[in-house]
Structure 1
Amino acid sequence: MATETTAAPRRIARLPLVLVTSLGVAVAVTILAVWAGGGADTAVPGIPGAGALTTWGLSVARTVSNASAVATIGALLLVAVLLPGGRRLGPAQLRYLNWAAMSAVLWAFAAAATLVLTLADLFAQPVGEIASPAVVADFITTDAQGRSYALMTAVAGLVATLCVGIGRASWARLALLLALAGLLPPAFTGHSSAAGNHDAAVVSLALHLLGVAVWVGGLVFVLVVAARREKQAAAAVRRFSPLAGWALLAVAASGLVNAAVRLPSPGDVFTSRYGLIMLAKAVALVLLGGIGQWHRSRTIPALNDSKRRAFVRLAAGELLLMAAAMGLAVGLARTPAPGAGDASLSPTAELLGFEMPPPLGDFPWTPLFTQWHFDPLFAFGTAAAALLYLAGVRKLRARGDKWPVGRTVSWLLGLTVTVLATMSGLAVYGKVMFSVHMGQHMILAMTVPILLVLGAPATLALRALPAAPKGEPDGPREILMRLLHSRYVKVVSHPVVASVLFIGSAFAVYYTSLFETLMRSHLGHLFMLVHFLAVGLLFFWVVIGIDPGPRRPPHLGRLFTLILTMPFHSWFSISLMSSTALIGEGWWSLLDRPWIADAADAMDDQYNAGSIAWATGDIPVLITTIILAVQWVRSDQREARRIDRQIDRGDDRDPLAAYNAYLASLHARDRRPANSRTSEES
């Protein structure tokens, strides 16, 4: 017993050493990767350079910024997701919230240092000569990289401030979302944003960063709670294990896409410095995947039996390997990619991420089916949605439960149409022609949602996910049920709110400067597409949805919602056709479109956009009305069968029997003599 008691403090004492060593490994590997990749060879003969402080300090600052950001996210992930608890944070959660605050402070300082050193690197001047407040402020306001690092610094400072004063789990989840968002701005302004297919490059890099942050940060803090022998360590590790698997999958898939975009040919993997460092990262990823599998098969079951030593040792080694991989990633960011200095990209390709497509020509508009553009977010998102849905259906059938085939077909068809709308010629021409963009908008907002809500994914999840044992923390099923009946969902699923969001967002996007602003940005364009899909899902879930919710309006109310909303859609379409001002003129003027020669052609295209919005709106409304009528009839039939069963059982609670008894009592009362009624009343 004494041996075990002394061993625990010894392992706790070693924990800071493991964490500091991991950071040291990350910095050392970064310096080595920058040197090996040629990232330090930035001086041009005859021109003064930025100096060694900038060359090496920038890489170190990025490494420290990344490591502290990962630590912040890991601590918040532990507090908000992994450690069991209620609405108010417990003592252990509050303790690790302080860890998150300290790492967020370090993150803010490292991000600020990265901002200043990036300025010195871009202008090839020593830090002492250029880092004046006026120059830094001008860099932030005029340069995308300056704004991205300034935003990261601000988010880190905000997260640090939040972590000091919060005591509820909801605020911890908000801080976690802010920290994850703070990682993303540099992804949209770095090397990937200048790649030929920059849409795929920046989105895959963003997914890569999120996956790494969740994976590495989560591992750091499950290692911490296991080494410190927290009571809820086993539960935290069990929750983290599937999350780590999905993070590994996201990191591997997004890394593969980013490599395909950045490397001109597969042979560059073995013949260029950039490719060799990327290959080293891939080897580290494979090793980490093997360690994760070892965890799931050996150390996690042992941890459940209170045998923590094997898990702590293997996790410490895994953390050192992850630190080396992070160092390689920073070195890779400083290494010139093959063909990085090639100026062969046209202004259109730099703006769009691809060359201007050929004219559509006359019907049948063949290029819409031959021009494809890969989008990692929708590709990975739809693939994951399909696999998870099919896994749920398989689980139901394995235990003998039925699931309607029509729902599965509807869900898969909806995902297929989503892929067509976001990666086919509709996505390519949607960036260069307003009419095609409007068709893409209508498909995402009015066709895909009908198919997806009829798939009833939430109902499937509630039936397939296991219920948490009594006395255990809430699992995914309980979290989903709580979300479906939350106050937020209750507000947004109100028919009036859903209708205003569905119609009002179209007017807000197209009749303000928002459309032009969103089209100029990769992230903005992506946000616009996701928003159209989200408001469409919300509206059609209210009207014809099968999944449970905090309020399910009666069928007559749903019909009124549909009837009252659609005239506003027609009004929007007519206003587009009759408008005399070109919507998004600043964006269209940047494009060299041979088939749109002047403003008259652009206005004709806008008129066609209004016509498409009007025509494509009527068919989904008709289909929705038919579906709603069928659901109404089936609901009445189910209610009639239920009442019949109650009558057959002789159930006293049958509403029809109770009403008949009430009428009989009134009839008996009316037949009584008048004097007896008078005496009763007196």
Structure 2
Amino acid sequence: MTRGGPAALVAAEPRPAAPDVQPGGRLPWTAPALAATGVALVAVVLVALSIGGGGPDGGRGLGGPGALVEGLAPIVTLAARIAAVGTVGTIVLAAVLLPGTPEARRALAAASTWALVWTGATALGALLTVSLLVGRSPASLPWSSLQVYLLDTGAGRATLIVLALGAVLVLAARRSRSTGGAWLLLGVAGAALLVPVVLSGHSSAAEDHLAAVTTIGAHVLAAAVWVGGLLALLVHGRGTASTATAAARFSGVALVCFLLTAVTGVLAAWFVLGGTEELLAAFGTGYGWLLVGKTAGLVALGVLGRQHRRRTLPRLRAGLPGSFRRFAAGEVLVMLATVALAVGLAGSPPPAGAAPVPGTAAQEPAAPAGAAADPMAGHDHGELSVGVLVDEERFHVAAPVTGGSRVSVFNGTDQDVTLTAEDGAFDVAVPGGSLLTFQAPEQPGEYRFASRHDAGFTDVLVVRG
């Protein structure tokens, strides 16, 4: 019999190891930490835009809607990207990582909230885009400009579709209970990610257009599943057993997403810049430095993923989830910083001479050979390229247009003008500070036009077949 009685027996029993995670499996995230993370991500976007030359006003040379709108626009874009990633990730957890579990149901409820933020940020982003384009505050925007943007431009139509799909996600995610329903929601979320890639911009070369859209679409989807999946795993995989199961499944998914993101990222840069020589030459520019930064983030994430598989996953299977959670939380921060850097890269103009690509703003035909360089031609406002710009001095026609296509016109002055063709092919009234479109003539040719308000305002619209 052991000396010391029952008390000695209790003392002699081995004590369980102290858990390395907080009670309930919650991550040690606090409101101040989340706020600091948000501020840091915003700083990454703004610094990236400054380096890449896509900051406030972007060199457009027109009066803007104010510093508040110019500063808020990239922040809203970042919020929309993160909310999109959160939506996709929570649905991936419900459909793939932990299907049919209580964690899956909680994740779908969270997906509804993420989708609501995504939808709201998309709507606000569209409003700010038009505000930047027209040079007026959102409160004073004419409805005609919003209508033109939403109905007559690829970016605007993409916005409407994303809003509709987002509404479906908001309503359906809270009601979905089955794994099959989660897979359907994942398809809806994927479509909402791809619509802006397909509709924002046009290509003058069909084969390049298809290849570029496919590449950029694959890049966007892979990155969203990768980043969003790990974020959802951290937040919703609370139990040790469920976290271990989901992490093992996610490890394979993450490896595929990493490889796909890396390959398509290189190809996307190649398409945007127009070839190997242009890609190499870009590394001496601000845009090139952003590419280097994004590549460095991807390499760092690859190293972190290898460490996960070698060290933290075995500890997680052994019932010690704390080190996995802390390591994964750091990985998520690197991922979000890379997303913020990507927002800055997308908002920065490629180096001069870069080839336009589907999904970008400057997707317009080349100017006629020998045409004088016009610094205002192809007036780029992020998601739109204006076909005809009106300033205080004259008209600026960006490039030839296709017969029967819609031509966008932005009047950046307070003066009402007209675009009146000499042969009567078109006659368009453009109020001051407004954006509108008109249909180009069907027949190829050169159409001289002027404005009835001032005979000195003349130019030529070249229509191609």
TM category, shorter? 0.5 to 0.7
Q: SS in structure 2 opposite 1:327?
A: helix
> If each structure's helix is expressed as a fraction of its own residues, which one has the higher value?
1
Q: 1:126 Cα shift? A: 2.6
Change (3 A) 1:269 1:164: same
Name the CA distance, whole Å, in 2 between partners of 1:204 and 1:287. 22
Name the CA distance, whole Å, in 2 between partners of 1:43 and 1:35. 9
The answer to whether structure 1 residue 81 and structure 2 residue 96 are counterparts is yes
The answer to whether structure 1 residue 215 and structure 2 residue 226 are counterparts is yes
Asked if the contact 1:274/1:332 (under 8 Å) is kept, the reply is yes
The answer to whether structure 1 residue 30 and structure 2 residue 45 are counterparts is yes
Name the CA distance, whole Å, in 1 between partners of 2:203 and 2:68. 26
The answer to whether structure 1 residue 67 and structure 2 residue 82 are counterparts is yes
Q: Deviations over 1:298-353 (max 9, x none)?
A: 1112211112122111111111111110011000011110126889xxxxx96899
| Residue in structure 1 matched with residue 346 of structure 2 by the alignment | 333
Q: 1:4 Cα shift? A: 3.6
| Residue in structure 2 matched with residue 267 of structure 1 by the alignment | 280
| Residue in structure 1 matched with residue 195 of structure 2 by the alignment | 185
The answer to whether structure 1 residue 312 and structure 2 residue 325 are counterparts is yes
RMSD value, Cα: 3.5
Name the CA distance, whole Å, in 1 between partners of 2:17 and 2:444. 74
Matches within 5 A, 1:237-256: 237-256=247-266
Taking CA–CA contacts closer than 8 Å with sequence separation of 6 or more, which of the two structures ends up with the larger relative contact order? 2
Q: 1:195 Cα shift? A: 9.4
The answer to whether structure 1 residue 279 and structure 2 residue 301 are counterparts is no
| Residue in structure 2 matched with residue 51 of structure 1 by the alignment | 66
| Residue in structure 1 matched with residue 459 of structure 2 by the alignment | none
Matches within 5 A, 1:582-601: none
Q: Deviations over 1:623-655 (max 9, x none)?
A: xxxxxxxxxxxxxxxxxxxxxxxxxxxxxxxxx
Structure-2-length-normalised TM-score: 0.68
Runs of at least 5 residues in structure 1 that lack an aligned partner in the other structure: 344-348, 354-588, 593-682
| Residue in structure 1 matched with residue 268 of structure 2 by the alignment | 258
Work out which of the residue numbers 164, 167, 186 in structure 1 matches 2:177: 167
Change (3 A) 1:300 1:41: same
Q: SS in structure 1 opposite 2:63?
A: coil
Aligned length: 351
Q: 1:24 Cα shift? A: 3.9
Work out which of the residue numbers 2, 6, 9 in structure 1 matches 2:23: 9
Q: Percent identity?
A: 32
Change (3 A) 1:341 1:251: closer
Amino acid at match of 2:94: V
Deviating more after overlay: 195-204 vs 317-326: 195-204
Q: 1:169 Cα shift? A: 1.5
Q: SS in structure 1 opposite 2:279?
A: coil
Asked if the contact 1:22/1:319 (under 8 Å) is kept, the reply is no
Work out which of the residue numbers 124, 140, 149 in structure 1 matches 2:150: 140
Amino acid at match of 1:218: G
Q: 1:15 Cα shift? A: 3.5
Runs of at least 5 residues in structure 2 that lack an aligned partner in the other structure: 1-14, 357-361, 367-441, 446-465
Q: SS in structure 2 opposite 1:212?
A: helix
The answer to whether structure 1 residue 102 and structure 2 residue 105 are counterparts is no
Q: Deviations over 1:568-618 (max 9, x none)?
A: xxxxxxxxxxxxxxxxxxxxx9999xxxxxxxxxxxxxxxxxxxxxxxxxx
Work out which of the residue numbers 147, 163, 167 in structure 2 matches 1:153: 163
Structure-1-length-normalised TM-score: 0.47
Matches within 5 A, 1:549-628: none
Name the CA distance, whole Å, in 1 between partners of 2:230 and 2:79. 18
Q: 1:185 Cα shift? A: 1.8
Amino acid at match of 2:67: A
Change (3 A) 1:340 1:127: farther
Change (3 A) 1:195 1:298: farther
The answer to whether structure 1 residue 232 and structure 2 residue 247 are counterparts is no
Amino acid at match of 1:102: T
Name the CA distance, whole Å, in 1 between partners of 2:165 and 2:249. 27
Amino acid at match of 1:64: A
